Structure 1
Amino acid sequence: MYKVGGIAGLSGALGLWSASVLAAEGEKPSEGIGIDELSLYTTPPQNLRYVEPERGQVEEGVATVRKLAEPYTSWGQGVYGAVKPKVDGAVQFGQDSYTYLKNPPSEFYPRAGVIGFAGILGLFLARGSRLKKLVYPTGLMAVGASLYYPQQAATIAKSSGDALYDWALQGYVAVEKLVTGKAAQKTEKAEEKPSSGEAAA
């Protein structure tokens, strides 16, 4: 067994031992060959170009539908961007109201009853005219709410008064522009008529 092991060790050692090989005197040692020169590693030059595949009927139909729907999708995205904050605000208001009504203060329901009764009384008093049916219940409910919540009523009245003043001022300016524009047109027409009469004479 020792002999087999020794032979295996000797053959392994010989495999690791390097020896130099010398060429004959008349021959020059050749330089190495590059990888590109070997035929195994060279690839023929390729002249490739991309050819667009022909579009089928389904692809053309989809492209047409996309082009037709593009203005509507952009409009829808704009509407979504404008509506989303309002919807989020309404949802938050609903959640806050639910939380408030789940555990309201002790005087909340009697006050709500009085305000609601004022609205029903306003409907009863507003017989006949549609304008009365709109103004009386709203006015009586506003009066009832302002009795119980005077600070909030004053704030709302001030902000709505400012808004009404702004609208009235804008309306006044628009009417003034309309009236002065018509007056200027009338004076221009009046000046043109004598000049045309003088030309005829």
Structure 2
Amino acid sequence: MLKVTGSAMPGPMSLLFPNPVFAASRDGDPQPSAPSLLLDELSLYTAPPPLQKPLHVQPEAGHLEQSVATLREFTEPYTGWCKDTYSTIQPKVHSVVQCGSDTYAYLKDPPKDFYPRAGVVGFTGVLGLFLARGSRIKRFMLPAGLMTVSASMYYPEKAATIVKSAGDSVYDRAVQSYAALEKMVNPQSKSGKDSETKP
């Protein structure tokens, strides 16, 4: 009869490394020609067959989950609208932030006579508010006009470029409005001229 012997390893270490098993005769001498067996090959140490995977059953949605789903469905159009609005407003916000940072950098290291000039321009605005008692149009026009005149005295080159660009745009708008008004007043004159020139 054969006797099974194995090398002894303490506790958990025997699980990590498979131990060779030798078949020995009754005398206790291992047989040199017998092949070594692993513990996994013996029927006593075989692993149980794998269990079937249990089917995953989706639990029923509770009252809280149903409320959250209803709230999401209700707010979905508004979130899309907010995303569109944010994508529209975002460049404007970035430009305002950039303008603020540029203004801060300019005021941090201003030109030599900037603060006295700004004081004079601000004083003329306050003077315009003081002088413009009465109608609301005066309250708007007089301070703005006085501030514009005093600022143009200190910065004549910038004032000239602004006046030139504003004058060009005003002239273009006046020509367009005149053409639209003429078209509304005399719509038949143009068609009559076209009919006269065709024959």
Normalising to structure 2: TM-score of the pair? Answer: 0.58
State the Cα RMSD in Å: 3.7
Identity rate, percent: 52
For 1:53, what is the secondary structure of its paired residue?
A: coil
Flag the structure with higher strand content.
2
Q: 1:102 maps to which residue?
A: 108
Amino acid at match of 1:107: D
Flag the structure with higher helix content.
1
Distance 1:163 1:15, change over 3 A: farther
2-structure distance, mates of 1:16, 1:112: 109
Distance 1:19 1:109, change over 3 A: closer
For 1:106, what is the secondary structure of its paired residue?
A: coil
Q: 2:61 maps to which residue?
A: 55
Q: Which of these residues, 101, 117, 125, is aligned with residue 131 of structure 2? A: 125
5 Å-filtered alignment, 1:9-20, equals 17-18=32-33
Distance 1:114 1:61, change over 3 A: same
1-structure distance, mates of 2:86, 2:61: 34
Q: Deviations over 1:84-123 (max 9, x none)?
A: 2222222222222222222322211221122122222322
- Flag structure 2 segments of 5+ consecutive residues without an equivalent: 1-21, 23-28, 36-47, 189-199
Shift of 1:82: 2.1
Q: 1:150 maps to which residue?
A: 156
2-structure distance, mates of 1:42, 1:50: 17
Normalising to structure 1: TM-score of the pair? Answer: 0.57
